Chain A
């Protein structure tokens, strides 16, 4: 039996490559200093969805909320085998916390036909792991978090193994379901050659507009609009148009979006700059190791 999977993905700053310029003076993340990447565990979620499609049939739709540049990870999803890609982008989404984000995404997912919604366990920028469960609540479906293994999918039921502290738990529920997937679940595939060759030209309307405006600064507004319209139509015919939805299209209640929909207040931000460098040789003997461990405990490096 085929299943329709919706996979939520996020473009995040690569926090592994953090440097001295990673934080702005006001304590927010300096996105320009860090390369933007596909949130790692979202790739595990996408891989799960693609495996479900390969085994049972159905579709995989990748959806992201973010800046126009987030279209990059939608293309990355198409390179791996997603059938459809949706960019939710709107200036009014800015400053959304997890509550507002999950509301906006719920409006988008409700427009789709789905059996399984998949998210990465958490994003490496905020590390909250909240959007998935909040979304399930808004969609009125069961969430299963920390999925490590999809064990069975049959007769409208799904059985998974999920990680819990000190072990694992086997759970079963009826579809539809929302899964948050850990990096234990699988090893994500790399982009596939023929999908790269085809979808590297896929674009969202907002990207088309930007590219055409850049290339045709001398033309008048009317002509530019015409060019944009034509190009969008060409992409659509070739099945290379990334769908783009704004809050108006989603019929979202503005009070629940962006800053007004975000009750989270940041209490304090501390900028920690690690400056000390150096190394210390430890004798490779019992006493050497023991001294080192005691020192680490004393300095509260380890508990």
Chain B
């Protein structure tokens, strides 16, 4: 029996290294739920055991059941039937059935609706594991944020109507936002929401590129204030699949073939308002999108892991010039970089998820159970706000870094396999196709950078890096910490320069600024892992190849990774800072001369 959770030593290590017990205490509200629900944990230890055991069951399902069906799902895809219904690939139907039986479709929903009330961090790990098995299935498994949005903002009646069925895996959902003329710019959404004389709401119009638009319950962003342009004219609605929801088209895509991408025509569809009018985009969809972005970062992590493993296996077994190709410097360099980037992405993703959990936990505590003492309450408020700001910065960083990383890893995996990698005989070509969407949907890389660079330049990065620098590190890492401190100073110099040059200049060099900030953050995270108090040993040789299998401590291993990562990036980031400080604006001044006119045939 294979298992995508237990076979991943980095995940195993991080589960030990991260303080899951403290997160559990916050989201289980000091374990008070155990009194009402027989499966809710009564202690931190019990909660952590729950996470571990459930992930292990999911890891087994992913490896033994979901992964073997992924190739067929990729080939078969979904079908749009004449009556407007959509038939999923058989592998998707079977896998969804198993996931429902495994009771993992309500990962983060509260116990009272039948959910597991697990932290986002554990959900990210689960999403990574499922995506490694089949990236396209993640697009349905990973839509649990829809139920979470209902839980956060809808009325009690709507919650009771839908959430238990979501948690049981009886229904799936879709977030229905994009329109032909409203992609990145959701403020341009046109789909009309209107009321009849009795105050009942209806939807009319077209939505496009809707993942799982054929799902049972749809969250629809629509214009409720017809005389009002922009985001404040939009509200969020929930409706059910039915005769007035017409799937007109299924997109023919490069990758994630198991995930149906629908064009939908709403023909006066009855619906219910979520929360308050006019807060649809500015509050609810923003929150939904933040969760979805972390979901895509986790999906990216899973695809990268899958691609890397095929490449590693091939590099070790393929012989040319009478030796395994991984013995050649060029291949070795690719494998090494892939592996380090994979762990960098995971470090950032898990840290982001952790910060989101802490932020959500504190804000829930403030709402439900605030401290009576005024000073204490103010203190909690400040801490909560601080974590929220960190989450706002880390979320686009994680989505950006993870999705770009997964494309690089998938690209290089094909390269390692050479001609074989280009053929459909190996899974890497599928991983590369599946990877390609991750830098595009739920906000393109360019939009993530726009979001992140504002946080970086507003002083948040500096504050966060200062907090990271305060953690306890082992003495052996001192020189690396000095290097990171120097890097932070250089970043600050670059930030000041950019701010003097205005917003356009900031966006022009946004990616470089965000890259430097991410490298510094991940540098600290690697040092933190290398200073762990929960070490474990990992094998250096395959189990069955030698009698005395060699092993290395994860702590030592992470120290080696930290050293290489920080030193290599220091020189790279120096170059980036130099470019930023150059003041070069030729992208604007010379655009016309270099790019020339639009050539029409």
A residues apposed to B, CB below 8 Å? 79, 187, 189-198, 200-201, 238
Contacts and interface: CB of A to CB of B under 8 A. Distances in A.
A200 B50 CA distance: 8
Nearest to B111: A194
A192 B50 contact: no
B39 A189 contact: no
Given A197-B50, A200-B49, A191 B40 contact: no
A196 B50 CA distance: 7
B103 A200 contact: no
A192 B101 contact: yes
Nearest to A50: B101
Interface of B: 38-41, 46, 49-50, 53-54, 57-58, 60-61, 65, 98, 101-104, 114, 116
Contact of B38 (A187, A189, A198): A198
A238 B37 CA distance: 11
24 contacts: A190-B57, A190-B60, A190-B61, A190-B98, A191-B57, A191-B102, A192-B57, A192-B102, A192-B103, A193-B102, A193-B103, A194-B39, A194-B103, A195-B103, A196-B50, A196-B57, A197-B40, A197-B50, A197-B53, A197-B116, A198-B39, A200-B49, A200-B50, A201-B46
Nearest to B56: A191
Contacts of B49: 200
A-B interface, 5 closest residue pairs, ranked by CB to CB distance from nearest: A197-B39, A193-B103, A198-B39, A192-B103, A191-B57
A200 B43 CA distance: 13
B38 A196 contact: no
Contacts of A197: 39-41, 50, 53-54, 116
Contacts of B98: 187, 189-190
Contacts of B46: 201
Contacts of B114: 194
B65 A187 contact: yes
Contacts of B65: 187, 190
A31 B114 CA distance: 40
A101 B103 CA distance: 36
Nearest to B41: A197
Given A196-B50, A196-B53, A196-B57, A189 B116 contact: no
Contacts of B103: 192-195
A238 B102 contact: no
B212 to A, nearest CB: 22
A196 B40 CA distance: 11
Given A194-B116, A196-B53, A196-B54, A189 B104 contact: no
A79 B38 CA distance: 14
Contact of A193 (B40, B54, B60): B54
Contacts of A201: 46
Most central of A195, A196, A197 by chain B CB within 10 Å = A197
B58 A190 contact: yes
Nearest to B114: A194
Contacts of A189: 98, 101-102
A197 B60 CA distance: 17
Contact of B116 (A191, A193, A238): A193
A66 B102 CA distance: 28
B315 to A, nearest CB: 20
A200 B102 contact: no
Most central of B57, B65, B116 by chain A CB within 10 Å = B57
B50 A190 contact: no
Nearest to B55: A193
Contact of B53 (A187, A191, A238): A191
